[in-house]
Structure 1
């Protein structure tokens, strides 16, 4: 019998006060009252339909993302967490994360969120420089960002800070001082990543003055050295942790685990008992979603695409990729990828051990070239 992978739950809250120019996540801008309870009610109905697909597996971790989930009042979060626990088994050691905006009206809710069951916070700071916050169209001040971190530290030791580099008109000193500010508050996790301009964003249409590649490379090298000296361990392309504090939900993605995705525009991945893997996308139209039309698409991953899908996730990790896991998660034999592995080895993108593969420094730098080997 097939061993099904562990499963997590992703919940999408689609509302934002303002759409940032670089953001390509699915969201609605709303300055009016959000129909929170109506949406929570539909989220739970959406979950009920998906539960039938997962063969009584326990949910290991929950991640509430967006949009801006911290726009929701405590009663909504409390109703949501309680409703999930009534409908499905949650692991006792479950990590329950909420993405949070460091705006004063929102961070005052953190204490109540903690009482509702949230045990990990992820703060989207991006930068501590007021002029750069304006350039990337964030809606809070440097002081609000600092106050939000201080508020979280009072109530919860486990929290992540998101920081970006390669911002418009950002200097090397700006980028490094952002990391110094973040480290000063001793978060258990830092997500530090380069700004990329995606085609379906408003920034794509603008002629932004981004730092040149040499400056960005210096930001990356010097920033990474500083984080290492500050006690942070890099375990994924853009993820740095203190001690054992990996983001469990994201780690499940990168290990090609399963996840239910509920809410407007949410994505899911579910392995069936026969080894087939399906991907789900939920309805992006908020009115349709509120009227019970939850599922937009459900597609089967073709067998020939499974190796690429698997390695697209696992090659992001700075750890061995076990051959046994490849077979269990894809339901394929290693002989299916023998020639592709040989090519990756010849190019010195990976090394092979008896029970595992691991990306080399070259493989991490040229990750796209490595992944192309596994494309059909």
Structure 2
């Protein structure tokens, strides 16, 4: 960046709230499908997931509801091509391959799904076997994301995972047999974890041949058992050492650190998540699914009924959406930056206007302040967070909050 000519951003007063959003074209579109059930709720998890009860999962009824939800949402996405599909949860690998095939067949018949669309399925060790991975691949899944978290039995037990280290290794091997694109989720700064143990987890992941790693610092989220009764965690210095070790080792082995927690082999970044971070659009269907859709009238965010029972009951009425709100001009700059500044390469200056419908002048004063603070570098084409900005991302983003 330093070899490029620095763009002379000029500080201008922010535009008034009644500034019109002028999108010349909507951004790329993705589809997110939420599957809300899991075998057991983990004590650190704050996602919309619910443990399977004695009655089991109402798979057929839920897939019927998902298809009806998609049909009801079609007027919002008429004529728009879907580039990626992500089936998340919960534990979507609890779906039968036959059920998943029916769902994806409906997506293909109802929407303009790109022929080379990336279709990701989240899976957990302990809920998959070789035959199911084969079935998922035949249904059209092109990418699997495995919730490994750790290869250490002691840490897996503390995290409340239903699999052990041996099952994790078997699941990775099975995924690699059937899919070219495999992501492994790893967590670090776990209760009682040492630097050497974090390194051992990373080396095992690297040895698997996975094309993508998502490395997350364990956080104690509100409304979780871990938040109510916090376990003893590594201190800040040790946690920082783990993060530095992970970033350095993955760089050594040819992984690109393209987002705060995401690392990929060249050309293997998650296209679905990249669309989120570039402030693209996504239709969200399923219990508690969120969506963001743009049109000439502005940008709208939606959330489906959150509890599975409420979602299924709503499906009987043809009522899927619990909340819908328009994103205001005041909120748009922060919402854009909250996504785009997670990317190591930042974003093109032109993308701010293309994906928000606002002129760059809206954020010029704040970008200038962020550059003065050493959080970002700016040239004629891009805004890129510095290493300091990436490490203190929350502080950087605060500068774009509405006054």
Normalising by structure 2, we get a TM-score of: 0.91
SS at 2:64's partner residue? Answer: helix
Name 1:123's counterpart in structure 2: 146
Structure 2 residue corresponding to 1:77, chosen from 100, 104, 125 = 100
Long gaps (5+) in structure 1: none
Cα deviation, residue 287, structure 1: 2.2
SS at 2:358's partner residue? Answer: coil
Kindly report the root-mean-square deviation, in angstroms, between the aligned alpha carbons of the 2 structures.
1.2
Cα deviation, residue 105, structure 1: 4.9
Cα deviation, residue 355, structure 1: 1.9
CA distance, structure 2, for counterparts of residue 107 and residue 265 of structure 1? 30
Name 2:357's counterpart in structure 1: 331
CA distance, structure 2, for counterparts of residue 104 and residue 36 of structure 1? 15
Cα deviation, residue 273, structure 1: 2.2
> 1:288 touches 1:294 (CA, 8 Å); kept in 2?
no
Q: Which is bigger in relative contact order (C-alpha 8 A, separation at least 6)?
A: 2
Map 1:285-324 onto structure 2 (within 5 A).
Answer: 285-291=307-313, 292=315, 293-324=319-350
Name 1:236's counterpart in structure 2: 259
SS at 2:293's partner residue? Answer: strand
> Is it true that 1:22 corresponds to 2:48 in the alignment?
no
Normalising by structure 1, we get a TM-score of: 0.97
> How many residues are paired up?
375
> 1:63 touches 1:97 (CA, 8 Å); kept in 2?
yes
Name 2:212's counterpart in structure 1: 189
> 1:101 touches 1:107 (CA, 8 Å); kept in 2?
no
Long gaps (5+) in structure 2: 1-22
Map 1:222-261 onto structure 2 (within 5 A).
Answer: 222-261=245-284
Name 2:392's counterpart in structure 1: 366
Name 1:209's counterpart in structure 2: 232
CA distance, structure 2, for counterparts of residue 168 and residue 44 of structure 1? 41
> Is it true that 1:278 corresponds to 2:304 in the alignment?
no
Name 1:54's counterpart in structure 2: 77
SS at 1:109's partner residue? Answer: helix
CA distance, structure 2, for counterparts of residue 290 and residue 367 of structure 1? 38
Greater alpha carbon shift after TM alignment, 332-341 vs 98-107: 98-107
CA distance, structure 1, for counterparts of residue 235 and residue 131 of structure 2? 39
Greater alpha carbon shift after TM alignment, 100-109 vs 128-137: 100-109
Name 1:4's counterpart in structure 2: 26
CA distance, structure 1, for counterparts of residue 131 and residue 213 of structure 2? 22
CA distance, structure 2, for counterparts of residue 48 and residue 74 of structure 1? 22
> 1:324 touches 1:355 (CA, 8 Å); kept in 2?
yes
